[in-house]
A = this chain, B = another copy of it.
């Protein structure tokens, strides 16, 4: 389990109340070793308490994401997936043919962050990037010269209070 207490403190520092629901949801996220959908998180939360509503889960996840406590990413399952943000972050290589997912370190993105910032002034935030493409197995698997994946990654940012 991750530093649950520290996370709760952070939430509190932002002026938010620590409700039972939020504590449980945070705890669930900490116990989770990987990304999960709101629905999945809701199910796991129900193991502790069964009276936490799915909408509350959604609202809490949204808040935690806004605080950069968790990442929200769409890995291609048709729904958002959430995960406690690592320090440093990690990313994923997602094969659009077989669906396999492999981890990718942050180094490259750290370098890119610096480079982009220096050259443009824009400060990128690579929290949890899904990198779509074709894995080596699928490339060698005979389909290497076919339509190639038949998929293009797309990305979704968050709703955001805009100044």
Contact = CB atoms under 8 A, between A and B. Distances in A.
* Copies of this chain in the oligomer: 2
Contacts of A90: none
A80 B135 CA distance: 25
Given A93-B122, A102-B120, A124-B131, A151 B155 contact: no
A18 interface: no
Interface in A126-163: 126-136, 138-139, 141, 143, 147-163
Interface stretch (A1-9, A22-30, A46-54, A60-68): A60-68
B97 A150 contact: no
Contacts of A139: 121, 123
Contacts of A151: 65-66, 157-160
A150 B67 contact: yes
**Residue of A14, A138, A141, A143 with most partner-chain B CB within 10 A:** A138
**Residue of A71, A80, A93 with most partner-chain B CB within 10 A:** A93
